[in-house]
Structure 1
């Protein structure tokens, strides 16, 4: 199997590091943005709770639950921080490189490593609970629903693990094309269903109780004369929203599929390996070319398209208080207004890429982590 590194897919630029305790505004790249419409964003805190996250192919990104931030790095550190005080709650060091997580799974916290092992901690105390080995490295974060951890390995297998003891309940297996992105999408879970985006451009809906296939749907057909042209990985995490699964394929299309039966609702020819988010009546997509799209979730019609960030590699968007927030490979965090896509703030936080999506806490702070593990708390005013 040949894999292509994602860093070769996007542009990179090096910009300066922001100083803590001030409001940082770069000149907005969109000349149509009026100064009195710009969003003022305060840099509330900056620190480095963990080390390097390494390549964006690894699914290491912060998680938040019940007032606590959870972070992990490529060297094996796992830490829990109070989201208000940023003081440590607990920490642990695994003597092996991590590649996925942390993920909140009920009263457990999950991380995965490059040897294909999933580790579970007691979320409140940090006590190790169990470890389970999969058949290949873990490049996607596990997901949790109804007492089952749904985890992927890089060889095309999906596992259902008992959340209490990590025992295997079932395995779903599909072949992997000869050439794929070095990135897997995390399953989307809702109730008793897990929707998995595969490397061949197909979606599979699994019953989490036993791993049986409820339906499969071809989001995009691989096309082209070469293996490179035919790459159609669903490498961005699918999402489930109001009875539909939304997914996007690299070099392919974004589409909506009904959860009940796998029937296609709509499809548009826009590709991405970074991600999308569904909110209210719209689906927001960070495309591979740096454009940001808003689609009507009911019929796929374009609500707006923002081109000010074209040429950048963006993170998966996150919705926060009327804005769409995403990092980019030039070390910025970008704020777009939901109603019209206007770029209203652009903060320079790092001289290295921001490859992980922001995390919003219960207090309204937006936490962003760069590739070196530096975390910054932003607060819109």
Structure 2
């Protein structure tokens, strides 16, 4: 609890309680059984991929994990408080630290300072494998902190944004925003775009002055509607796709859209029933829907380019656009490599079967995926 608000909608909540309002639970059909996922058929590896290395970080289950990449280094965390920087070329540790307390959000990094948030509501900053400082927070945090410009920015579940000096931990400013009473226990939007801090509040993308938190512009991707708090939930979720001044994002179970951050205006929105973020480039934006359908939209106007139901009824991660491929993970631990042109399958890779815990990422020409059991896998083209 914080500021008198009750944060009730969490990713781990039973689907039966909210099946009508949360399309993220749409795989439950009301009869006590789930629809059978589409048959994948035989794997025909059109695009050759080999496993280059494996590593471990500890169980990620229950942690809204964001994998951070900078150069050749991948930084990630486990639910029990292990934070590790891994060399994507070899899979070996650059550094590793055990904070010995469970985490609620992680990780953010600028390649030097790494920030996570403990379930005890403590912001913890690590530098080179050693804890530099920690500061108490007033509310829970599910979005990885942003480390940029010598500062650490935190988006809390009470819809406050705070900034801290990355070297000392001194609090620089804090701004409170109004919003709906429910939030999601998953990562939201918190990113730098030029000299603007871009933050997701409910269904709005908001540009803030990083020096003091004042609002420069607001752009709504989705408007809360409905007769109760659950139906009105339209939180923006990570990951996002940024190309220059264009930032595209998903509003939970409501829409996908792009914002021109120079003007602070919405370029387009399209209805979309998904719970994970998007990725893309200057030509297209890609997303996964809650029923396992993968969709591509034209970036400049939101026109739908294609959809594929080959992964229907599988719970998918947010996608990664990688060259001519769109990469998604599923809850059985498979990594699906699809054609960016039409969604056709190019290859399928198995991991440890525990489910892919975060959107795939790339560093040092290596595709990196993390499983719920804490397996870290590096794949490269053959």
User: How has the CA–CA distance of structure 1 residues 153 and 179 changed in structure 2, closer, same or farther, with 3 Å as cutoff?
Assistant: closer
Q: Among 103, 108, 115, which residue is 1:98 paired with?
A: 103
Change (3 A) 1:53 1:163: same
Aligned residues of 2:68 and 2:108 also touching (Cα < 8 A): yes
**Residue equivalent to 2:171:** 168
TM-aligned CA distance change 1:376 to 1:226, over 3 Å? same
Measured in 2, the distance between the counterparts of 1:152 and 1:174 equals 11
Aligned residue in 2 for 1:185: 188
Structure 1 residue 34 displacement after superposition: 9.7
What SS does structure 2 have at the residue aligned with 1:59? coil
Query: Which residue number corresponds to residue 377 of structure 2?
Result: 376
Measured on the aligned residues, the alpha-carbon RMSD in Å equals: 2.3
- What residue in structure 2 maps to residue 269 of structure 1? 271
Is the Cα–Cα contact under 8 Å of residues 106 and 145 in structure 2 kept in the other structure? yes
Alignment partner, residue 25 of structure 1: none
Contact 1:111 1:141 in 2 (8 A): yes
Q: 1:367 maps to what in 2?
A: 368
Please say if residues 115 and 147 of structure 2, whose CA atoms lie closer than 8 Å, have aligned partners that are also in contact: no
Per the alignment, do residues 380 and 316 of structure 1 end up closer, same or farther by CA in structure 2, a change over 3 Å counting?
same
Query: In the alignment, what sits opposite 1:137?
Result: 140
5+ residue gaps, structure 2, are 1-5, 16-23, 29-37
State the partner residue of 2:113: 108
Aligned residues between the structures: 357
Q: What secondary structure does 1:60 align onto?
A: coil
Alignment deviations for residues 290-343 of structure 1 (CA, whole Å, 9 cap, x no partner) = 211111111111122122112122112112232111111121111111122212
Q: In structure 1, what is the Cα distance between the partners aligned to 2:112 and 2:54?
A: 28
Give TM-score scaled by structure 2 length: 0.86
2:318 is the counterpart of 1:293: no
Contact 2:218 2:265 in 1 (8 A): no
**Partner residue, 1:22:** none
Structure 1, unpaired ranges of 5+: 13-27
Partner of 1:126: 129
1:154 matches 2:157:
yes
1:40 and 2:32 aligned: no
Would the aligned equivalents of 2:114 and 2:147 in 1 still touch at CA under 8 Å?
no
Task: Supply the distance in 1 between the matched residues of 2:241 and 2:122 (Cα, whole angstroms).
Answer: 25
8 Å CA contact 1:187–1:237 kept in 2: the answer is no
Equivalent position of 1:347 in the other structure: 349
Which deviates more, 169-178 or 330-339? 169-178
The residue that corresponds to 1:71 in the other structure is 76
In the alignment, the residues of structure 2 paired with residue 73 and residue 228 of structure 1 have an alpha-carbon distance, to the nearest angstrom, of: 29
For the structure 1 residues 191 and 44, does the alpha-carbon distance in structure 2 shift closer, same or farther, using more than 3 Å as the test? same
1:34–1:179: structure 2 CA closer, same or farther, 3 Å change rule? closer
SS in 2 for 1:329: coil
Matching residue of 1:18: none
Tell me the equivalent position of 2:32: none
Provide the rounded CA distance (Å) in 2 between the counterparts of 1:143 and 1:282.
26
Q: TM-score, normalised by structure 1?
A: 0.86
Cα deviation 1:125-161 (Å, max 9, x = unaligned): 3232222222112211112333332211111111122
